[in-house]
Amino acid sequence: MEKRLEVWDRPGVCGLDNSGNFCYFNAVLQCVCSTVPLVEYLLHPDTRKELARAKCQVAQVFVRLLEQMWLGRSSSCAPVEARSLLCSILPQFNNDSQQDAQELLLLLFNALHDDLKKVGRRKTHSSKHLIQDQDRKCATGLGESTIVSKLFEGSFSYVTVCMRCDHKTHNTQTFTVLSLPIPTHISKCSIQDCLSPFFEQTLLTGAERMLCSACELRKETALVTFLDKPPEILVLHLKRFGCKGKNQVKLRTNVTFTTELDLSLFLSSSAQKTSCTFYRLYAVVNHIGHLNMGHYTALCHNTLTRTWHCFDDSAVRELHDNHVQSPDAYVLLYSCKPFRKPKIPGL
Ligand SMILES: [Zn+2]
């Protein structure tokens, strides 16, 4: 079912050389490379001009790497510049030890978001009211909107109910990665089994009880979470690295998933009318092996070939749809809008 590719003519399908212990970095970069709306934005000639003017160094490194991966004609490349950028902006990754791909993904999104904010600020100088108008429309917890927050940021609403006086409070919180605890007492469960507890009503007791602002007493509190604004791109992180007593362990529960995900059960009533409900899987980060001796690979769907590929550093092979689901899945990336053939100049 799986075959190694001989002739290389697949834009966006490019292995990444690994000179050290950087498989976690390569796996994350492959997920970024297959996020079509992000790639289109970064490789658009207008964006590139803006990035140069605003001196967005982080984003420009991504641009150069994505250009190689989408427009280069070789089956792999060396992400040397991206790696030295990573080590300079996130010094905690400047060593040869195995790191957490999910943590890196989140920090890279933040770094890219912060860098891209310079473009908006520059524009604010030249055409002030135009940008202020846009900012009001895309107000988020991150303050300023960029392609990163536009694609990846979602929000929850929490409703708490005082069990004594029924007083309700509403709060919201934004997120870019949804970290899901996985059941430990069973060997197999579905992704829905991981999502449901996150959105189930829970009763806060003991030290978790909240102080009610109406009756001014600390009584048992009911807590319900809804997805208020589902993100355009949903990143699910399966919390495989946990603790058993004092020991750190890797949880090996086989979490089953399909390429389609329906979130309608978890949406708030206002979100149900307008927002994304159905998602399609387009990338997976796998973690193989043990807690400290593991290896990361990425499985990504390519919109041109309409097939999946497995990226194991510089080695790339096509993968049958049936082999995407595996017990090694660690981070799952879904999009609610189907990716089209990317509009990249020169493609
Ligand atoms: Zn109360």
Identify the residue whose tokens are 């990317």.
342
- pLDDT tens-digit readout, 280-336: 999 999 999 988 789 999 999 999 999 999 999 999 999 999 999 999 999 999 999
Report the half-sphere exposure of 73 (CA within 13 A, side-chain side). 3
Q: What is the 215 CA–ligand 1 centroid distance (Å)?
A: 4
The catalytic residue among 295, 300, 301, 309 is 295
Q: What is the 164 CA–ligand 1 centroid distance (Å)?
A: 5
Q: What is the 272 CA–ligand 1 centroid distance (Å)?
A: 30
118 three-state secondary structure: helix
Q: How far apart are the first and last CA of the chain?
A: 29
Q: What is the 226 CA–ligand 1 centroid distance (Å)?
A: 22
Domains identified in the chain and CATH numbers: 9-335 (3.90.70.10)
Distances (CA, A) of 310 to 33, 165, 300: 13, 55, 7
Distances (CA, A) of 213 to 166, 173, 219: 11, 20, 11
What pLDDT score was predicted for residue 271? 87
- In this structure, the dihedral spanned by the alpha carbons of residues 202, 203, 207 and 211, taken in order and rounded to 10 degrees, is 110
Active-site residue flag, 129: no
State percent of the chain over pLDDT 70: 92
Distances (CA, A) of 344 to 10, 42, 93, 146, 206: 14, 9, 31, 20, 56
Active-site residue flag, 309: no
- Residue 227's pLDDT band (cuts 50, 70, 90): very high
What pLDDT score was predicted for residue 4? 55
Mean pLDDT of 202-221: 93
What pLDDT score was predicted for residue 12? 96
127-141, 176-190, 239-253, range with greatest mean pLDDT: 176-190
The catalytic residue among 23, 162, 212, 276 is 23
Q: Indicate whether 278 pLDDT > 90.
A: yes
- Residue 138's pLDDT band (cuts 50, 70, 90): very low
Q: What is the mean pLDDT of the chain?
A: 89
What pLDDT score was predicted for residue 7? 58
200-209, 234-243, 306-315, range with greatest mean pLDDT: 306-315
What pLDDT score was predicted for residue 135? 40
Within 10 Å of residue 44's Cβ, how many Cβ atoms?
15
What pLDDT score was predicted for residue 139? 37
Contact assessment for residue 277 and residue 260, using Cβ atoms and an 8 Å cutoff: no
- The amino acid present at 265, given as its one-letter code, is L
Mean pLDDT of 229-251: 89
What pLDDT score was predicted for residue 180? 94
- For 27, the token pair is 């796996």
Q: What is the 220 CA–ligand 1 centroid distance (Å)?
A: 9
CA 9 to chain CA centroid, Å, is: 28
Q: Indicate whether 232 pLDDT > 60.
A: yes
Contact assessment for residue 168 and residue 159, using Cβ atoms and an 8 Å cutoff: yes
261 three-state secondary structure: strand
Q: Indicate whether 8 pLDDT > 90.
A: no
What pLDDT score was predicted for residue 141? 46
- Residue 97's pLDDT band (cuts 50, 70, 90): confident
Distances (CA, A) of 347 to 12, 40, 48, 59, 344: 10, 11, 16, 20, 6
30 three-state secondary structure: helix
